[in-house]
Amino acid sequence: MHRMLLHLLILCVAWLWSPSPAIAVTVEDQTSSLAAELRCPVCQNLSVADSPSEMANQMRDLVREKLKNGESPDQIRAYFVSRYGEWILLAPKRQGFNWVAWLLPFGAILAGAGAIGWVVGRGTARRRSRQKEALPPLDPRYAGRLEAELEEWGR
């Protein structure tokens, strides 16, 4: 039973690690992924990929055309930023002050984890010291006898 499970486990892990087939990156895929990063200027919080508005349609067409002309995603992003400002990107560029947004949540969680670890450590230490105190002092009459009897018995 256990061996079968082990084999099953190995099979699963092997499957997971197998390289996936190369995905053809079409212009359409690239357009979609770039459009998902751009904010639709006339909608509320929607990406150009999701928005059904006409402006978003036009922007998608423009992105597709630029990709076909050979422009790189970075260039296309820079183009939109030069026209609309940083606001057109749906996630803040990872630079300068924007790092606050990207890193602070994880920093806070790590700090919190540290705090929990510290509190647990304190609790564990307190428990251990309580246990040590709780042990009654060893009766001198029996102090050495237990050891001696165990040794004899062992022989």
Nearer to another protein, 83 or 155 (CB): 83
- 23-62 as b/e: b if 16+ CB within 10 A: eeeeeeebbbebbebbbbbeeeeebbbebeeeebeebbee
Convert residues 23-62 into a mask of x (bound to another protein by CB under 8 A) and - (unbound). Answer: -------------xx-x-xx-xxxx--xxxxxx-xxx-xx
Residues from 126 through 145 that contact another protein (CB under 8 A)? 126-127
Count of alpha carbons within 13 angstroms of residue 93, beta-carbon side:
11
- Residues in contact with another protein by CB under 8 A are 5, 8-9, 11-13, 15-16, 20, 36-37, 39, 41-42, 44-47, 50-55, 57-59, 61-62, 81-93, 96-98, 100-102, 104-106, 108-109, 112-113, 116-117, 119-120, 122-124, 126-127
